Structure 1
Amino acid sequence: MKTTIQLILVCMAPFACAFGQQTTPAVQKEVPAADIYDIQDRILIKTKGGQQLSAIVVRKKEWKAPQATALFFTIYADHEKNLAEAKRSADRGYVGVVANSRGKALSPDQINPYETEAEDVNGVIDWISKQGWSDGRVAMYGGSYSGFAAWAATKHLHPALKTIIPYVAAIPGFGLPMENNIFLNANYGWGFYVSNHKYLDTTNYYNQKHWRDMQFNWYHSGLPYRKIDSIEGRPNPLLQRWIQHPAYDRYWQNMVPWKEDFAKINIPVLSITGYYDDGQISALRYFKEHYKYHRNADHYLIIGPYDHFGAQRGGSPVLRDYKVDPVSLINTAQITYEWMDYVLKGGPKPALLKDKINYQVMGANEWKHAPSIDKMSNQVQRLYLTDLKSGENHLLLPGKPVKAGFSLQEVDFADRNHTNNDYYPYPIVRKELDRSTGLYFISSPFEEEVSVDGIFSGVLKAEINKKDMDVGLVLYELMPDGQYFHLSYFLGRASYAQDMTRRTLLKAGAINTIPFSSTRMFSRRLSKGSRLLVVLDINKNPFAQINYGTGKEVSEESIADAKVPLKIKWSTDSYVDIPVWKY
């Protein structure tokens, strides 16, 4: 019996252990953490540049030989959560290291979100590689800001970094605080949250009414975007710094890999994101750019019906009132460590990774796998935004019109009793749409069951009476029962459509070409009889900058620039390309 008791004591909770015919459960004795872990939670890492970064290191005391390190780099300085994160990695067979951004926790330096990670993360990796407990190999993982930090580390790749596992990874200047060159208000309060002091400033941050009121008060005030912080009542220095860079210029390019930088990223990468992740276009851009500049990149993608937080967990049974397919639910943490074991320890590849792109088909309760984004579909349907009408909708037709025509739209930016462009996917399934603004284009019913898998794109052609506009498109499935399933959307500034690094104003009175491709990836099985619906509109609401079209810097424009409404003639040469899988 003595031997049995000793064995029970070393079993890892919460798993039960059974031995022989024993029927009485043994009493589990909790082992103090100090007996299991070697914890160093007040480390200051000094980098070659002279900065000091706060870190926590956790190792199992039973380990004698050097181990590989799992590094989690975060701006969210929360000692207890960061310590738990490091312990989790130690429990999975790695030295767990959590490092905080410059200026956070114990660091005496200035807090500058995003701006110094490319340098600082590599300073941490270099420090780790020189410690006696390190075997010289580091894996980075984490979501959102931590996913961004993992990619920032690859801009100047340290030889000790062997793999990264970024989830819903941000690209500063691309997915936030601006999307396709339009500044969004969703992250307005985030700067205060992370930079007001050494840990996290929760004052007002979780007060949704405060931020919603601020946005609507600014919208109704008609003030320029650069003065939005006067509505909130305190300066927002981060926002003011960011809006000095409306193009994706060197300021943003220096934060993460840019163009040829991707060609040098020769380590295995596993990216995880969701169809309804607000920052999905960032995570997908990393994936697309990596393969664009490194044709033989070892980069895998997992994507399913997850939002920004759900992807970091592995999903939830109900997402924005939509009941997801049971097969879509995964365990992101488990897959993360399986991937580390695969890369660093010769373990098996995670079972879900059957090809480079692994995506869950909504409505089919199955996963599919493809070697590239293009191979997710076996047909691309080009549908034109015609001026022909059927009831309250324009027709979305496969054939280019024989004679070019136009669909007309007018937007009064001085009218603050109404908003334009209801694009956000909440809820995912709607019984009806607000048709007070925008143009609606509907396809013929599908004659058979199909999947729409991939990224929709297209080209808009329009004549306007101004020099710029912010465009919104939403793609829905109109189901046979009359409900609308939100598939994807696009939001972008027309003057940056050709090149997000340089603004080219539109020519008033001429036909302008506006290509778009930075939309959300999705996969959905459509039943026979379903139709596609494209909603085309101009962005005018409290949730983002308002582009009045004068050609001046948008942050300087105000309601005083709204005397003349925006008049648009949408050409019937405009089209969308829909990736379809025909069975």
Structure 2
Amino acid sequence: GRVGMLGDGYSGYAAWAAARRKPAALKAIATIAPMAPGIDFPMAGQIYRNAMVRWAQEHAAAGPAGGDAGADQDARWQALDARWYRGDRPYWDIDRVLLGKRSKLIRTWLTHPSHDRYWRKFLPTAKQFAQIDIPVLGIAGYYGAEAGALYFHQEHRRNRPQADTTLLIGPYDAESIRLGTAAQLRGYTLDPAARVDLPELRFQWLDHVFKGARKPSLLQDRVNYQVMGADQWRHVPTLDAPDRTRLRLYLDARERDGSHRLSPSPSEGDGSAQLSVDLADRRDARVPWPDTLRSRQPTVRNSIRFVSDPLPKDTEIDGSLRGEFDITPSRQDVDLNVSLYELTASGDYQLLFEPYDFRASYAGHRVYRRLLRAGERQPLAFTAERVTARKLAAGSRIVLLVGLNKRPDRQINYGSGKDVNSETIADAQRPVRVRLHVSSHVEIQTRNP
């Protein structure tokens, strides 16, 4: 009569959906990268992903369409994304382009671009979070497996401070967690300490909950995270702490070796760096977006790069990247992309978290859309729904890429101020321009290594 639930992705969401109903037999849940409807699926940063169509199709059909699997299916969907990208139809027609027919489910999702009651009804309310009194374990990664896990963990803690909830996070994505982690992930060699059999860890934790076994040593505190480059785990009550030192870097308009600078203090004057992207240019429809985590050169398409001076000493960073951009946009809305790298002394770029896309009009609140004032200078505060932890070596530089979203696999925001689903390439008109003034900055927590 004592039940524990395991789940990853959608089934991780199902475990939370059960927990909020408080069935008497449910005594614990353990999830991997749980889906959070309206938070990280079918949109993220309030930007719809074409992958929602494939997900809905494969789940409705109980398997990949046509019986194919793996690389063949990936290539098929990528070709469909390219067809959509080269066309001139509004995003309302994404189902017709990718499936060849109208999907009532996709149409329903597109009707709710804000995190409104439709999405909130799938998630525990504040009262329900406060009443979830069973042990909870969440496992997530820095590379695309964290947004839902962070949401559930943070909301549970916010509404029930005494909650028995534990989060483990490290240099993983959802697939590598399920497979037990390998020596390498997308070109990055994991520290030995990060090579943990995470599915087995869940069972060890369940033995602790149900059989009184010793709690796994890796789960010493409420938040347990692996510091890349340090070969260590940290155990803390909360990841983002208000009393921690934060490293702040300003976006400098001055250029050096083809890049703008990231400076510890704002530069004098009223300069700005300009980001300009022609949303009507689709010549890159079949140019792949690499997903490597470590490379000799990052993808800077539709972006501008800011590079810091070499770090004078080893610097450990962790938590979420936050920032406030001082911008002058040419349109009423933009979809921005933020990526953060360590550029090592040897010339390698290490991606520190999965690139974060977000719609500017929802940056302050995902429920309410607030359009920008085209042609006017204004602040834009944001917090990336990503976390990371890495020991940056002395001599390394921090590299920030700020870009505009223009990808075949995502909804494109043309900035007209209309419902983005209704916009077409005809709304592109002139290139979108965003001026980033010198008071723009980002910051992240630091600690002594």
- TM-score for both structures, normalised by structure 2: 0.93
Q: Deviations over 1:301-320 (max 9, x none)?
A: 11112111111233111111
Identify which range, 549-558 or 502-511, moves more after superposition: 502-511
Q: 2:95 aligns with which of 229, 238, 250?
A: 229
Q: What is the deviation of 1:323?
A: 1.8
For the 8 Å contact 1:193–1:205, the answer to whether it is kept is no
Quick one: which amino acid aligns to residue 205 of structure 2? W
Q: 2:172 aligns with which of 290, 306, 312?
A: 306
Which residue is equivalent to 1:192? 57
Q: 2:107 aligns with which of 223, 228, 240?
A: 240
Instruction: Say yes or no: does 1:332 pair with 2:202.
Output: no
CA distance in 2, matches of 1:377, 1:328: 27
Do the aligned partners of residues 475 and 139 (structure 1) sit closer, same or farther apart at CA in structure 2, a change above 3 Å counting?
same
Which residue is equivalent to 2:117? 250
Which residue is equivalent to 1:291? 157
Instruction: Say yes or no: does 1:159 pair with 2:7.
Output: no
For the 8 Å contact 1:305–1:315, the answer to whether it is kept is no
CA distance in 2, matches of 1:211, 1:564: 30
For the 8 Å contact 2:95–2:102, the answer to whether it is kept is yes
For the 8 Å contact 2:290–2:299, the answer to whether it is kept is no
| 2:443 counterpart SS class | strand
Instruction: Say yes or no: does 1:480 pair with 2:345.
Output: yes
5 Å-filtered alignment, 1:454-493, equals: 454-488=319-353, 489-493=355-359
5 Å-filtered alignment, 1:11-410, equals: 134=1, 137-196=2-61, 199-203=62-66, 206=70, 207-232=73-98, 233-276=100-143, 278-375=144-241, 378-410=244-276
For the 8 Å contact 1:172–1:252, the answer to whether it is kept is yes
Do the aligned partners of residues 373 and 523 (structure 1) sit closer, same or farther apart at CA in structure 2, a change above 3 Å counting?
same
CA distance in 2, matches of 1:294, 1:524: 30
Q: Deviations over 1:182-220 (max 9, x none)?
A: 001233211111113xx4355256411110010011111
Which has the higher relative contact order, 1 or 2, with Cα contacts under 8 A spaced 6 or more apart?
2
| 1:349 counterpart SS class | coil
Do the aligned partners of residues 354 and 287 (structure 1) sit closer, same or farther apart at CA in structure 2, a change above 3 Å counting?
same
CA distance in 2, matches of 1:166, 1:376: 27
Q: Radius of gyration: which is bigger?
A: 1
CA distance in 2, matches of 1:571, 1:159: 56
For the 8 Å contact 2:271–2:438, the answer to whether it is kept is yes
Q: What is the deviation of 1:171?
A: 0.5
Identify which range, 325-334 or 162-171, moves more after superposition: 325-334
Do the aligned partners of residues 445 and 260 (structure 1) sit closer, same or farther apart at CA in structure 2, a change above 3 Å counting?
farther
Quick one: which amino acid aligns to residue 166 of structure 1? T
Q: Deviations over 1:335-386 (max 9, x none)?
A: 2222222222322111211111111121222222112112599421111112
CA distance in 2, matches of 1:281, 1:541: 21
Quick one: which amino acid aligns to residue 231 of structure 1? V
Quick one: which amino acid aligns to residue 237 of structure 1? K
Do the aligned partners of residues 511 and 579 (structure 1) sit closer, same or farther apart at CA in structure 2, a change above 3 Å counting?
same
Do the aligned partners of residues 551 and 248 (structure 1) sit closer, same or farther apart at CA in structure 2, a change above 3 Å counting?
same
For the 8 Å contact 2:329–2:435, the answer to whether it is kept is yes
CA distance in 2, matches of 1:503, 1:193: 32
Q: Deviations over 1:131-169 (max 9, x none)?
A: xxx3xx221112111111111123332233221111111
Which residue is equivalent to 2:447? 581
Q: What is the deviation of 1:251?
A: 0.9
Which residue is equivalent to 2:381? 515
CA distance in 1, matches of 2:52, 2:182: 23
For the 8 Å contact 2:252–2:267, the answer to whether it is kept is yes
Instruction: Say yes or no: does 1:571 pair with 2:437.
Output: yes
Do the aligned partners of residues 258 and 516 (structure 1) sit closer, same or farther apart at CA in structure 2, a change above 3 Å counting?
farther
- For these two proteins, the number of residue pairs brought into alignment is 444
Which residue is equivalent to 1:416? 282
Give the root-mean-square deviation of aligned CA atoms. Answer: 2.2
Q: What is the deviation of 1:437?
A: 3.0
- TM-score for both structures, normalised by structure 1: 0.73
Quick one: which amino acid aligns to residue 257 of structure 1? P
Q: What is the deviation of 1:410?
A: 1.8
For the 8 Å contact 1:425–1:486, the answer to whether it is kept is no
5 Å-filtered alignment, 1:516-531, equals: 516-531=382-397
For the 8 Å contact 1:281–1:518, the answer to whether it is kept is no
CA distance in 2, matches of 1:434, 1:201: 30
CA distance in 1, matches of 2:429, 2:199: 54
Percentage of pairs with the same residue: 35
